[in-house]
Amino acid sequence: MCMDPRLSAAPKISAEAASLTDECQVTPVIHVLQYPGCVPKPIPSFACTGRCASYIQASIPRPLNRGALMLQQKPHLTACAVHAQGLKRAQLFRKKSPVTLTKDPFRATLCAPMSSRTKVMKNLAVFDFDHTIVDTNSDTAVMDLVDKSKFPPDLRKLHKSAGWTAFMQAVFNVLHENQVTEPDIAGLIRRLPGVAGIKHLIQTLHDSMDYDVIIISDANTYFINAWLEENGLSSKILKVYSNPGAFNEQGRLEIEMFHDQDSCQLSTRNLCKGQIMQDFIKEQSKRGIVYRRVVYVGDGHNDFCPILRLGSTGVACCRKAYQCADLVQNAPNTEHRLKAQVCIWENGQEVLEFLAKPFSM
């Protein structure tokens, strides 16, 4: 990464300009510049419709001088200067947005509305939880906290008739009836082993490779957050999408369906991972964050839906010898069309090495 030295210093305001009254009306300007390989750099710069304009114009970095001259002709331009990737020449965006210059001009609000600012380009990694981050099924693992004879013989039938969330609520009811406490459950979850290399993968994506990381899982938020906290990964995860889970006043774990959907036949009633992923990407776009590459890491049949929604720059990372890998490898023989690259993995290091390879937009 480089940083153009001309963009490192904020514009200097002369003593006369700085002493202007609060009634001095100023309007900032957006300058969008491209310096290949450089990171975005905000540059405070603005101009006044009154007598201070000449003082401010002289201090604008050299690449911006042309825009500063335009300010005197068309002063009603908008907000902050951004050194952005992806544009090959300076451009001006017009939008009326006057601000008031205080005696300390750098306290003036100089940020443009998001609609007129350059989008922030990032990457996105979406992870499943069970058998992807933890090397087991967290839901069924807690069933070992009581003797199997404690579970009614017809409990398994509930899974098929009412769905996984209803089945797990029945499991948690049995645990509570047998004096299994929150510390018992939380302790077991925190001790679950992670998949080999997965912690390093998440840390590296977040810290060094410009990835936002989210989790979409059919487990529950209590289990996922407890494990992340124990393993020092909470700060690396931007968002957890899962069935809400919390202990009530009586000490019983209660969970709810994330949503109730019937539009996606590839997904369960309570969780369409593909729709959740697309909704997240859409909301991030409204905030000015655009993902140039989306990576999905999973293992199960309910990970197939989001993988099918990945674009040509996406990567489907399917755990070897699990159902998702079988579905992806068999996709050419079905009506499903897969656009993304495919990475079949056994550990987190293999995913990291695959993602470290150069890719083109």
Where in the sequence numbering do the catalytic residues fall?
128, 130
Closest C-alpha to 223, from 182, 280, 257, 251: 182
Name the 3-class secondary structure at 286: helix
């890998």: which residue's tokens?
325
- Between CA 258 and CA 355 the distance in angstroms is 30
**Positive/negative CA dihedral, 189, 190, 196, 198:** positive
- Between CA 328 and CA 181 the distance in angstroms is 40
- Between CA 203 and CA 192 the distance in angstroms is 18
Say if residues 145 and 174 touch (Cβ distance below 8 Å). Answer: no
Name the 3-class secondary structure at 40: coil
- Between CA 163 and CA 166 the distance in angstroms is 6
> What residues are paired with 42 via a beta bridge?
82
Output the six-digit token pair for 246.
């919390």
CA distances from 140 to 26, 146, 172, 192, 219 (A): 63, 12, 11, 12, 10
